[in-house]
Every structure is written in C-alpha cells, then in structure tokens.
Structure 1
Amino acid sequence: MGSKLRKVILRDRRLIPPFNEPARDLMVMNKPLWLHQRDLLAPYCGEELEVDSLDEVPDDRVPTLVYRDNLFFDEPFLRTFLERARRLGKACRVAFALNDPAIVHHALPLQRGIRREGDVYVADMWYFPYGKEPYARPLVIETLAREIGYYRVPRYMAPNQGDLTFWVPLRAFLSIEHWVHIFMANSPFGIFAEGARMEAQIQRLDVKLRILWRAMLERRQVLSSSALIRIGRNVQIDPTAILQGPTIIGDNVTIGAGAVIANSIIGSNVNIGQGVQVLLSVVGDGCFL
C-alpha cells in the first residue's frame, strides 16, 4: 500500500464498568484491545503518537491515520477503508449508511462514539493524506452484514420471538463504551464474523478445493481439518473430542474426553474438561472449564 502512515491515537480515558478499566486494556479476541489494534495496523502504519484530542494532531503534511483507542475493527474493515481513502486521495472519515443492519441493531445501543451526522453515521476514525485538515468527507463503508441464527428459543419461553439471530458483519466496527460491547466484539463481531467470512470464502472453487484436499490427506471431516483449525504447541486432545473450525487453540492446552469445540478461540494454558461444549466463544488464557 505504498509508504506507511503516521498513526495518531486519540485516548479515551473513560473506565468501563464493571471492569473499571479503559476500553483499550480490555480483552478482545484474547488480546488487549490496544494490541489487537496495533497488530492490525502494523502493515499500514509506522510512526505512532498518542493525543487527548483532535486539536493536538500535528499540522505537518504527513499521511496520517487518526482513530480513537476504544474502537474495535477487523482487518477486512481496515483494509477496505484505507484502500478506498487512498484511492480517493482526500481527507476522509469513517461513515456508515443509516440502514446498515449491523450498525443499527448492534453497534448503536449504549454508546455515543458512532453518531448521526446528516444522512450517515460517522465514527472517530480519519484518514488525512496531506496532514490534518479542518474538513473530512464521510466515506461510507458497508459492513456486508448477514442475519445468522445464534440458537433457537423454545416456543414456551418466547412464543412470538422465533430464533435468536444476529446481524453478523463481514467488516466489523464497534465503539466499546459498555460491557455489552465486549461480548459483541468477541462473539457476533469477532469469532462469529470469522466464521461468516470463511463461509463466504469457501464458495470460491479454489478455496473449496484446497480445504477439501487437506481434509482428504488428513482423513478427517472438512470442518475438522488443519485448514480450518490452528493448534499451538504442547496441546493434548482426547481422541473422542470433537473440533470444528474455524478454531484457534493456543499453547499448553488440555481438551478432555467428549469435549466439543466449534468456531472458537481457546487461549494458552487452558484446561477444557470432559464433556464441555464451547461454541462461538473466546476462552482467555489460563481458564479452566
């Protein structure tokens, strides 16, 4: 993508109850949010600067990405925003359509970081190709959300509700200002979105053949092949356990008899006991289930 950008981080010092920590220090996808952001931005950004307000951003003519440190976003979202912004060659700000279902249903409640301005929703992420400018035009990014069922609610519990569904984005973006947003970032906008992206990619013939070939070589079911499951070092898995991808398992993990792990992230030094089922979840380092 050419020369690297300067990264300017707007600090958000609000503490998120009940954790009593700023959003940047909370765990998302088994990483502190600041580390998740840094890893995603590493291919695009070099110099880093932290400020408390947009007024403190330097005025020199250096290509700059500015974002607030309580934002959760994924690689497809970031790549799409930067590619379109660089192609446009003008100062841009992240924006969303008013009818984007993932934003409307899941990102807007309990927060103020994503707000309406005119006929779009805008958020605190900017791209300045020639240094800070007083006006940045909104650049609408589609989240490509699809409605996917989470689990079925029994009729006697919710006779008029039907299935519980989420609008799962293929390009995720969230302003973390409440503990509910931690769940949203880890599950529907996190590991659930990873599964939705894999489901979309597997429609391509080359991806489908690569995964099928790997499964045939390993004599495993497609969802249990190493093409969809990443396993760390020193992992002990009982032969009767069931693993289905996309799943990531860290180091020094023990998985007991009859356990089921599907579309999840398991951290390091985790012990998953006999018969435990983990679905669409993120299990942090050092946990015992």
Structure 2
Amino acid sequence: MLKVVLHAQNQIMPFCEPARELRIQNSPLWLHQRNLLAPYVTREMELKQGERLQPVREQAIVYRDNLFFDKYYIQAFMDQAIKLNKPVRAAFRSDDPAFREHALPLSTSYTPAGSLYLADLWYYPNGPVAGAEPLVIDMQAREIGYYHVPTYMGDRSGDLVFQVPLRAMMAIDSWVHVFIADTVFGQFAHGARFEKRLNEELGFKLKIIGKAIYEGRQVLECSELVKVGKGCVIDPSAVIHGPAIIGDNVTINAGAVIENSIIGNNVNISQDVQVMLSVVGDGAFLPFRASLFMTTIMENSMLAQNTCLQMCVIGRNTFIGAGSTWTDYNLIPAPIRARDGNGKLSLSNRPVMGGCVGHNCRVGSGMIVYPARTIESDVVLAASKERRVIDRDITFEDSDHHNLKLAHLHQTPYHMQSKGDSESW
C-alpha cells in the first residue's frame, strides 16, 4: 500500500515548529504515525504544500502529518475501509463525546459536513480520486473523573471530567491538543482499556493477580503493569503504579511516586518527586520534590526543586527554576481561553488548564504562571520586582535576554531569522 503524507505548514505556538516535530507519547509525531502505519504500507511519499500528487493506480492511504491516532483507531479505520473497498474519508459525529469535548475546541483542521466533521485521513482502494464517502469510527468514549474536588470548581465549561476514548484520533492544532493527546487520549485511555480488559477477560485478570502473587507485590506494581527498561536503578522505597512504562537507564531515587506515566530513556528522578498521569521525555532531570500532574515534558528538559506543574506542556531543552508554580484554575469561574490553530484566543472548553512553555527556554526561580498562559521558544525570564507573576502570553520579543550585555551567549535556534536574533548584537 502507498502512503502519502500531506504536510501541515502551520506552526504550533509557542513551540515555533510544525506539529509533526512535537513529541506525543514520548515519540516525534511523524515517527509515531510511521510506526502505527508500518503494517499496512510498502512505500511512501511526502507532499509539501502546493505540490501535486502524480496519478497512481494502487491502494493508498493519505493523511495530514498533524494527526495523532492510536493503533486501536487506525486498525478500526483500516479494517472498515478495506472491507468497504471504496474511497472513504475519516469523519466524526458532532455528538461524539470525546471529539466534541476535546478534539474540536481550538481546532482548525476539520471540515464541517452536516452533522459530521471530516478529518484529513483518506483511504483509496485504487489510488486517489476525487470524492470520498465519510467513514465514521466511534471513539467509544467513556466519562472519567480525574480527582474528587468540590463542585464549585466546575464552571460553564463543564464538570471536572474527561471523555476518554478507547480509540483515539485528533488533529494537533494547538498546544492544548498536545496535552489532550498525551493525557486524555494517552494515559487516561491506557487506564480505561486496562480496566475494560479486567472487567471482560477473566484470563487476563487471573494472569495479573497471579503475577502479583508470584512477585509478592500489589497488583498495580507487578511487572505486567509496570514495564521497566534496561540498566535502570530504582530505589526500593520508590512507588510505581501502572500502567506505566519506564525507559532504559532511568534512575529513580528514594520516596519518588510514579503513577500511570511514561518515563523516557536516561531520565533522572530525584528524591520525593511525584509524577502522575504524565509523560517525561528522554534525558529529562527532575530534582527533589518536583511535582508533575497530567503534564508533558519533552526531551532534555529540567525542572528545579519544589516546582509544581499541573496540566502543562513543556518543550525540549528547557529549564524551569526552583519553586515555580503553574496554576490551573481561575479563582473567579470565568472560562479559560487558549490559543487556537489560528493563534487567536478562544474558549478551551476546560474548567481547569495549566500553561505551556516552548523549546529552549530558561525560566527563573519563583515564577507564578496564570492558567493557559504560554512562553514562546528561546525566551529567557528572570524573576524581578517587575515580573514574577506571568499573567499574559510571553513572546520572544518579551525575553529578558534582549536587555543583557551577554545576550549573544544565549542561543536562539527557533528564531535565528527573526529580528533581534543573536547575530545582530
């Protein structure tokens, strides 16, 4: 089967790069797509914006490279498409709970078609042709709450619940979609599928219980649920509850707590760190008492001690200073807005939401960041009398390094062609 990849040119802010380069579930999105489609594909080609596809007469799958999908969705889509043996295009019902609540808000990638929304994923049995029928794949959403809190923390956006799909697919048009893909469509979905198997498959339940008894551990700590890579050093007092994946050469020190998370390779987790429902990229460093809740940290980033991140996304090669806090809840119950695919502030459809930091940022100690605020790639923020509370989005032009005599020492790879780059000083 031929695979045709269409490039999505829009950059995802504040990362200043296309969605395909961002890490989702601790893997670059383009690689994640390639791995999941590998069983179906024999050759591939990429089309840049404005480039035309030459006529082909073979079975083909065509998709935009800002799409995130899991193996359960793509398997259902391909099975149905091949069975129908006609040109089809992925579609969602407007009343699909997971799509309506999480994928559609802030997005610009879907095409309305009556009561459906069409996604940029096609199947052609005899090569691409004009026209394709919508193919709706139910994402099998189930409502899951993520912690017990007072009811007043809900607002007009809804209660503190997620619509978790067992089969996930969405377009990455905003940094919020990275959060949704990693946490709701990723970690929560892993847990939901695990619970479903426990309830429906007696053999699977007995296997889990048997392995826990054999290893002398609690069920959630047994090796069936906690996958540990090679060369890891884990203190006996650390608590790791699955489903969880620990990469290779990971160090986890005394008192650390990890629950339902993905930890990449070469990660160092210090004493009393808490990581819950989060994704930690390769080479990250979490010093003592750092806390992550429903947060994504991409590769080679560091959080200093006593820093707390809730429902946030942090880019690669970024440092965040000690004692910084990203808040996630408006004290006055006003709806939280975030940047959509066009860069405009729009309703996020979430009653609580953390913030986002781009790539290659340096954020000083003791910062307090308001909900859904963003810090653009290459920014340096030093705490001062004038700026310790971040109540608006911070762009590259706002970076403190512009005012420093040693500004040329700060590399700005994501803004090399912009005004005020390091070559102009």
* TM-score calculated relative to the size of structure 1: 0.94
Q: Secondary structure at the match of 1:248?
A: strand
The correspondence for 1:98, drawn from 94, 100, 112, is 94
CA displacement 1:176-222 (0-9 Å, x = unmatched): 01111111111101121111111111221121112122112211111
Which residue does the alignment assign to 2:284? 287
CA distance in 2, matches of 1:266, 1:47: 32
Deviation at 1:141, TM superposition (A): 0.3
Which residue does the alignment assign to 1:235? 232
Question: Which consecutive unaligned segments of at least 5 residues does structure 2 have?
Answer: 287-425
The aligned runs of 1:195-234 (5 Å cut-off) are 195-203=191-199, 204-234=201-231
The correspondence for 1:121, drawn from 96, 117, 125, is 117
Q: Secondary structure at the match of 2:39?
A: coil
Which residue does the alignment assign to 2:176? 180
The correspondence for 1:249, drawn from 246, 249, 254, is 246
Residue identity opposite 2:75 in structure 1: R
CA distance in 1, matches of 2:126, 2:241: 47
The correspondence for 2:274, drawn from 274, 277, 280, is 277
Deviation at 1:153, TM superposition (A): 3.1
Change (3 A) 1:100 1:250: same
Aligned Cα root-mean-square deviation (Å): 1.8
CA distance in 2, matches of 1:43, 1:160: 44
Residue identity opposite 1:212 in structure 2: I
Aligned-pair identity in percent equals 53
Residue correspondences, number: 285
CA distance in 2, matches of 1:130, 1:96: 24
CA displacement 1:103-131 (0-9 Å, x = unmatched): 00100011111232122111000000011
CA displacement 1:29-67 (0-9 Å, x = unmatched): 111100111111111112010013597233221100000
Residue identity opposite 2:54 in structure 1: P
Q: Which moved more, 1:191-200 or 1:80-89?
A: 191-200
CA distance in 2, matches of 1:82, 1:162: 34
Which residue does the alignment assign to 1:149? 145
The correspondence for 1:164, drawn from 155, 160, 166, is 160
Deviation at 1:84, TM superposition (A): 0.4
The aligned runs of 1:1-12 (5 Å cut-off) are 5-12=1-8
User: Segments of 4+ in structure 1 off by > 6 A?
Assistant: 159-162
Which residue does the alignment assign to 2:77? 81
Deviation at 1:80, TM superposition (A): 0.1
Q: Secondary structure at the match of 1:151?
A: coil
CA distance in 2, matches of 1:70, 1:159: 31
Q: Secondary structure at the match of 1:202?
A: helix
Change (3 A) 1:158 1:103: closer
Residue identity opposite 1:9 in structure 2: V
Q: Which has the larger radius of gyration?
A: 2
Residue identity opposite 1:65 in structure 2: I
Q: Which moved more, 1:212-221 or 1:222-231?
A: 212-221
Residue identity opposite 1:68 in structure 2: R
CA displacement 1:2-39 (0-9 Å, x = unmatched): xxx11100001111111001100001111110011111
Q: Secondary structure at the match of 2:204?
A: helix
Deviation at 1:157, TM superposition (A): 5.0
8 Å CA contact retained: 2:154, 2:160: no
Question: Which consecutive unaligned segments of at least 5 residues does structure 1 have?
Answer: none
Deviation at 1:229, TM superposition (A): 1.0
